[in-house]
Chains A and B, each alone.
Chain A
Amino acid sequence: MKRFGRLRKVMAVGMAGVLLVGASGCSDSKGGGQGGGESGGQEKYKIGIIEVQLNDESTNRAEWFNNYIAPQYNVEFMFSEACTDLNSCMTFIENAADAGCDGIINYYAVGANTQQLVELCAEYDMVYTENGGRNTGNEAVFAGNYENFAGNFMADQPATGKLFKDYLSETLDTSVEHGFIVGTGSAYQGNAQQTEISANMLGALEELYGLKFDSTIEELYTSSAPVNGTNDKGIEVYCYPGAPSTSGWLEGLNAAMQTGKYDYILMSGNVLGNIMTTVDELETAMNKDFTVIGFGSFGEALTSAMNSVDHFGNQALSMSTVKFTSIVSTMGFSKVYNCLTGHRDACLEANGEPSVLLFRMNAVTSPEQLDEMGSWDKEGKWVADYDFVDSLLANKTEGLTSDKAQETVYKMDYDAIKARLN
């Protein structure tokens, strides 16, 4: 009995340990960044950052904020763990307020939540910006003249879609018969990025073949069930929605590819790491060459896909897109910092409403190009350097307006970065 009691004590300690480890995985904050020393007598600010997930990108972002930006601009950063709902965002904002934060940069952007979060930040006298666009869900915030709202920042989605369109225009030989599977991903749920990419891919096919779909392009990408894009030219186009996390999605893609009608796989979602094994196996089994074009992000999956050679000796992944985290982060930082330093005007459109700053993604088509880009945006080779950050800060750049800021961001394209970093 005594032995059993001791065992219970050991178990209690063990359980506490397990729960502690578990709890640490779910805690709300993972501590602040490097406060840095006084930089030229600038006032010290503290900014809370709401992360939606922890991955290569968020780690990279934290490095840039903590090690590069914090000491230079005398700003301290406080990061959340993964916030995947409104409640966790609100809890983090309250914690950030308690910790003395002056502003919030939110990477978990849901239009319907924006007003509530802006109002919560206003209660604590904090500036707010988020990584999202202007849509029906948050229209009231943009029109509502909230003093603490600095506007939003996001990817220029039509430009991202155009990257795919341009690549297809340049490489597709329309004199040879081709069939296309267009992975529309979550476009049917309103995902802006996947909507634009899907729409542009379908638009490119219309343009290149001079065809007319029997349904509208919108009807094709908003379908939640697989649908044939029947058209007047008889080109085989199959719109395949969903994501690999759904049971049977990969098998469905596999079945569609096996029909033998399609040889181009165009994916709007970030699914490269999931589909390449299936593609490779089918190439071997069917002795058919598939061309894969898809949205991607810097990471192991993209590197593996781009560096792999298929059954026919071709590059397994023909084209993908990437973005530079530090450019996106600069946009969010500049919005909050400008408001904190009393230059909110630089965050407003000419009509007085908060602006949405846009950045453009880049296309990557070869392992060499990926290798080159992959070496950028790291310690010592930040794409967004102090000159770039300063050019978006109103206290460093006189007469800065929203339009000028947008112009500056657009100028930071692949060629400009390459010229500077190489």
Chain B
Amino acid sequence: MMKSNNSKDMVSRIAKAVAVPVMVWAIMQVIDMVFAGMGVINNSADIKTLFRNLISSLAFALAIGANLNCGRMDLSLGAQMYAGVIFGGNMALMLNVGGIGVLILSMAVGALCGLVTGFIFINLRILPMVLGLGMTLVFECICFAINNQQGVILYGKPGVEILSNITFIIVVTAAIVLFAYYFFQLSGYGFKYRAIQGSQKLASDAGINIYSNCVICYVIAGTLAACAGVFITIYQGNLTPVLGMSSNGRVFSNMFPMVLGTWIGGLCHNREGGILMGAVTVNIIILGLTKLGLSNSVQNVIIYALFLTFVVYNTNRSKIEYYKARKARVAQARKMMAQRAA
């Protein structure tokens, strides 16, 4: 009986998590069919595009969440992504180790960037956002200075085709979600991480090393950001370094899947699974909008307006529930008064 209830509960959670992207897909499908005469996903090229964008959104959203859930907003993640892919990618191309080598070395350099940022944070205790801005400038300049400002070019390079292979992308996506789920929910590190998330002071008093936990968070975030960058680069063909904190755009553009994913995660009691569904949802919206032939600025207005609307709703959810409960109480009181009067 207990087992049956657990199974039902799990099915219900999965259904809630999947319902959001499915509903969004259905809406976008109708809009695209009516206005553009084609669906959101029409052929294998669309599937490839969706999966490639999905893995980059997912990895970036998880990277942002790793620190943000503990109250640290790391704005240098975009620059860490550039540093990871430009250094790691060029090293892999020089060593001729193919697409998997590009991915691994980029993630390794991303991890190193995260380590440097985290180490500086715990020692200098600069506000995370301020440190993030400073580190962004440093990483951007370093990326700019190497390889004659060319960044990294993956288009036409032998052995990197695997990064566009759907099976490979699905395997990496599954690996990222499972790793993040195990690491943040099941492992000893995750237990401490969630304790710190609850109260850093209490966690520290309880003997948890909040500093090492923090550095590990930064390392994981850097690794995931670089992973996202590799799939962005293989789609765009190259990654050119940017200056003037332009890399921050990557952080902000992936806030939507992160916030939406956290909300879906609340519905299905699985944050990592929720972020996966959040990334799927946002990428379906983006793919659907591109089919309409709108200009990039109009698409961005729609996406960010949806993001803002969602944030407003999410922030005021408790108020809505409060007003609903109040309304119910008032109705009940009136009913009782009416009954008494009768």
Chain A positions within 8 Å of B, measured between CB atoms, are 7-8, 11, 15, 18-19, 21-26, 53-56, 58-59, 82, 84, 224-226, 241-242, 244-252, 254-256, 258-259, 273-278, 281-282, 284-286, 299-301, 303-305, 307-308
- Once the chains bind, are B148 and A55 in contact (CB under 8 Å)? yes
Q: Any chain A CB within 8 A of the CB of B16?
A: no
Instruction: Tell me the complex Cα distance, A234–B141, Å.
Output: 50
A31 to chain B, nearest CB (A): 14
Most chain B Cβ neighbours within 10 Å, of A15, A25, A245, A286? A25
**Contact assessment for B164 and A18 in the assembled complex, using a CB-CB cutoff below 8 Å:** no
Q: Is the CB of A301 within 8 A of B237?
A: yes
B290 in the interface (beta carbon within 8 A):
yes
Set of chain B residues within 8 Å of A303, measured between Cβ atoms: 156
B24 at the interface (CB under 8 A from A): no
- Contact call B148/A59, Cβ cutoff below 8 A: yes
Q: Are A248 and B238 in contact (CB under 8 A)?
A: no
Instruction: In the complex, identify which listed stretch (B4-12, B36-44, B167-175, B214-222) lies at the interface while the others stay far away.
Output: B36-44
A248 touches B150 (CB 8 A): no
Contact B243 A273 (CB under 8 A): no
B43:A286 contact, CB within 8 angstroms: yes
B243 and A82 form a contact (CB under 8 A): yes
Q: Does B300 lie within 8 Å of A252, measured CB to CB?
A: no
List, in ascending order, chain A residues with CB within 8 A of B145's CB. Answer: 21, 24-26
Closest 9 CB pairs of A and B: A304-B156, A25-B145, A225-B295, A25-B141, A285-B45, A22-B138, A54-B149, A251-B290, A285-B43
Whether A256 pairs with B238 at a CB distance below 8 angstroms is no
Residues of B within 8 A of A25 (CB): 141-142, 144-145
Select the residue from B44, B287, B295 with max chain A CB neighbours within 10 A: B295
Complex Cα distance, B155 from A278, in Å, reads 11
CB <8 Å contact, B138 and A18: yes
Contact of A301 with B155 in the complex, beta carbons under 8 Å: yes
A23 and B96 CA atoms in complex are apart in Å by 31
Q: Do A84 and B297 touch (CB < 8 A)?
A: no
The complex places the Cα of A277 from the Cα of B293 at a distance, in Å, of 20
B137 at the interface (CB under 8 A from A): yes
Which A residues are in CB contact (< 8 Å) with B153?
273, 300-301, 304
Partner of A241, one of B123, B137, B295: B295
| A224 B295 Cβ-Cβ under 8 A | yes
Closest chain-A Cβ to B160's Cβ sits at a distance in Å of 10
Set A58, A226, A255: member contacting B295, Cβ < 8 A: A226
Q: How far is the CA of A318 from the CA of B306 in the complex (A)?
A: 41
B331 to chain A, nearest CB (A): 47
Q: Are B155 and A254 in contact (CB under 8 A)?
A: no
**Known contacts being A19-B138, A55-B148, is A276 close to B293, with CB within 8 Å?**
no
Closest to B48 in A: A281
Instruction: Assess the A8–B296 pair: CB atoms within 8 A.
Output: no
- Kindly state the separation between the CA atoms of A11 and B299 in the bound complex, as whole angstroms: 45
Q: List 14 A-B contacts (CB under 8 A).
A: A11-B119, A11-B123, A25-B141, A225-B295, A226-B293, A247-B296, A248-B299, A252-B293, A258-B45, A276-B156, A277-B235, A281-B48, A281-B49, A304-B156
| Complex-state Cα separation, A244 to B296, whole angstroms | 11
Q: Does A258 lie within 8 Å of B43, measured CB to CB?
A: yes
* Chain A residue, CB-CB nearest to B238: A273
Interface residue tally for chain B (C-beta within 8 Å)? 53
B220-250 to A contact mask, C-beta < 8 Å, 1/0: 0000000000000011111010011000010
Q: Are B164 and A277 in contact (CB under 8 A)?
A: yes
Q: Which residue of A lies closest to B298 (CB)?
A: A225
Chain A residue numbers with a CB within 8 Å of B297 are: 224-225
Are B298 and A21 in touch, CB under 8 angstroms?
no
B206 at the interface (CB under 8 A from A): no
Partner of B236 from the list A53, A256, A274, A308 (CB cut-off 8 Å) is A274
Interface residues of B in 265-317 (CB under 8 A from A): 286-287, 289-291, 293-300
In the complex, are the beta carbons of B123 and A286 less than 8 A apart?
Answer: no
Taken residue by residue from 16 to 27, chain B's Cβ proximity to chain A (1 for < 8 Å, 0 otherwise) reads as 000000000000
Chain B: minimal CB distance from A88 (Å): 10
**Which B20-60 residues have a C-beta within 8 angstroms of A?**
36, 38, 42-46, 48-49, 53
Residues of A within 8 A of B243 (CB): 82, 84
- Contact at B164–A281, with CB atoms within 8 Å? yes
Q: A258-B46, A273-B237 are in contact. List 15 more A-B contacts (CB 8 A).
A: A11-B120, A11-B123, A22-B137, A54-B144, A84-B244, A225-B297, A242-B295, A247-B296, A248-B300, A251-B287, A252-B290, A277-B164, A277-B234, A281-B48, A284-B45
B253 contacts partner chain A, Cβ-Cβ < 8 Å: yes
Q: CA separation between A247 and B300, bound complex, in Å? A: 8
- A281 to B299 alpha-carbon distance, docked (Å): 24
Q: Are A304 and B155 in contact (CB under 8 A)?
A: yes
Docked CA distance A56–B150 (Å): 8
Does B255 belong to the interface (CB within 8 Å)? no
Given contacts A23-B141, A224-B295, contact A250 B286 (CB under 8 A): no
Whether A248 and B116, one on each chain, are in contact in the complex, defined by CB atoms closer than 8 angstroms, is no
- Nearest CB in chain B to that of A53: its residue: B149
Q: Verify B38–A254 contact, CB threshold 8 A.
A: no
Residues of A within 8 Å of B150, CB to CB, are 55-56, 299-300
- Chain B residues lying within 8 Å of A282, measured Cβ to Cβ, are 45
A26 and B141: CB pair below 8 A? Answer: yes
Docked-complex contact B149 and A55, CB < 8 angstroms: yes
Verify A276–B237 contact, CB threshold 8 A: yes
Determine whether B124 belongs to the interface, using a CB cutoff of 8 Å to chain A.
Answer: yes
Question: Which residue in chain B gives the minimum CB-CB distance to A85?
Answer: B244
Min Cβ gap B241→A in Å is 9
Contact indicator A285/B290 (Cβ below 8 Å): no
Contact between chains at A301 and B141 (CB < 8 Å): no
Point out the residues of chain A lying under 8 angstroms from B287, CB to CB: 251
Residues of A within 8 A of B295 (CB): 224-226, 241-242
Question: Who on chain A is nearest to B157 by CB?
Answer: A304
> Which A residues are in CB contact (< 8 Å) with B120?
11, 15
Q: Which of A55, A276, A299 has the most CB of B within 10 A?
A: A55
Contacting residues, chain B, for A226 (C-beta < 8 A): 293-295
Most chain A beta-carbon contacts within 10 A, residue among B144, B287, B296: B296
Which B residues touch A299, using CB under 8 A? Answer: 150
Q: How far is the CB of A398 from chain B (nearest CB, A)?
A: 40
Complex alpha-carbon distance, A420 and B223, angstroms: 53
B139, B155, B164: the one contacting A276 at CB < 8 Å is B155
